[in-house]
Structure 1
Amino acid sequence: MSVVHTRADDRLGEFALRTLDPDADAALLHTWVTHPKAAFWLMQDANPAQVAEEYRRIADHPHHDAYLGLWRGRPAFLAERYDPAHVELVGLYDNQPGDVGMHFLCAPVGTPVRGFTRAVIRTVMAWLFDDPTTRRVVVEPDVRNTAVHALNAAVGFEVLGTITKPEKDALLSVCTRAQFQAAVTDSEGAQA
């Protein structure tokens, strides 16, 4: 399992992404994706074997990848990258060259750390934009997931509109490299 990206957060320290091992990580992921706070992940009733099966399917897919996020060296979040021309959004929006789809999930914790989720999404976005072929990041969160909508806006996402997927009504949003950089720069200036 290799680390594919690291990012130092001025306040919270080191974040990293490593390749996911569907079998070795399944028990941990099961506790995350079935937690009540992960209701929008749509795996509430999955057992550990089903979680392992889902992440083996993702690992074997040519257009979908999953990564375990680490905070200070410990598992703390999950990130998925996908090609929306082949996964999730096929035929549902005007796909552009260089579009990359993204999902992320923070591990449930007893005591939340202020700014943690924002640091996670910034880490995931920085990783996706490290690839020079990525022109836009595309997301499709549930229309009811207002907390994620606010986070998406904070890192530069622009709402394109609502789309209907088989499992949910989603708020299709995109973020260009320039929008992300402007949002990050603005928020750093505001914090100074």
Structure 2
Amino acid sequence: MSTTTGAVDALGVFAFRPLDPLRDAELLHGWVTHPKAAFWMMQDAQLEDVERAYMEIAADEHHHALLGLHDGMPAFLMEKYDPALRELVGLYEPEPGDVGMHFLVAPTETPVHGFTRAVITAVMAHLFEDPATQRVVVEPDVRNTAVHALNAAVGFVPEREIRKPEKTALLSFCTREQFERAVTA
């Protein structure tokens, strides 16, 4: 299984590998059903539900799940998708080079100050490693103020609220230039 190195940060090395839906399902199940993952909307999921959801993503050429590693250990989940074909179809006007993104940091009993910000920075750097990526699109729940602050910290600019079947979301965008300005500020 290949691993793509992401960012090296003061907190350590962040890397990514393709998610294995069967091998990683038990780990993910603990993450997505944790109370701190309420906005992931899988609180009541059974292990089989998690396996099924990530098998569907693995079979989808327009949606990919990556397991994020911190110093070699699983620490977060990243999904990237084509927002013109998944998640946001008909809800905004896609542009060439748009990439949709979700991320989830594993729950921990010993939080490290700045860790989640380091994760989203590594996620964004990983997405922008692809020269075809011009803009990252996110649609977090409007009530998820913690993620709005993290998004702003890496350069996202909210555009407007949109109504999705499962939530009211804050549609936000971050260009490569906005990201670079935010992380070098």
- TM-score normalised by the chain length of structure 2: 0.99
Please state whether the residue corresponding to 2:125 is helix, strand or coil. helix
Aligned pair 1:90/2:89, yes or no?
yes
Please state whether the residue corresponding to 1:67 is helix, strand or coil. strand
Shift of 1:48: 0.6
- Contact 2:6 2:125 (8 Å CA) reproduced: no
Paired residue for 2:37? 38
Measured on the aligned residues, the alpha-carbon RMSD in Å equals 0.6
Shift of 1:80: 0.3
Aligned pair 1:4/2:7, yes or no?
no
The code of the aligned residue for 1:152 comes to N
Paired residue for 2:126? 127
Any stretches of 5+ residues in structure 1 without a counterpart? Answer: 187-192
- Residue correspondence of structure 1 range 20-35 to structure 2 within 5 A: 20-35=19-34
Aligned pair 1:180/2:176, yes or no?
no
Please state whether the residue corresponding to 2:137 is helix, strand or coil. strand
> Deviations along 1:76-124, whole A, 9 cap, x unmatched?
0000000000100000001101000000000000011000000000000
Q: How many pairs are equivalent?
A: 185
- Residue correspondence of structure 1 range 60-99 to structure 2 within 5 A: 60-99=59-98
Please state whether the residue corresponding to 2:51 is helix, strand or coil. helix
Paired residue for 2:161? 162
- Contact 2:98 2:136 (8 Å CA) reproduced: yes
CA distance in 2, matches of 1:6, 1:155: 16
Paired residue for 1:189? none
CA distance in 1, matches of 2:13, 2:4: 13
Please state whether the residue corresponding to 2:120 is helix, strand or coil. helix
Paired residue for 1:171? 170
Any stretches of 5+ residues in structure 2 without a counterpart? Answer: none
> Deviations along 1:122-155, whole A, 9 cap, x unmatched?
0000000000000000000000000000000000
Shift of 1:4: 2.4
Please state whether the residue corresponding to 2:165 is helix, strand or coil. coil
The code of the aligned residue for 2:4 comes to V
The code of the aligned residue for 1:147 comes to A
CA distance in 1, matches of 2:11, 2:184: 18
Paired residue for 2:114? 115
Paired residue for 1:190? none
Runs of 4+ in structure 1 over 4 Å off: none
Identity, % of aligned positions: 67
Paired residue for 2:142? 143
Please state whether the residue corresponding to 1:124 is helix, strand or coil. helix
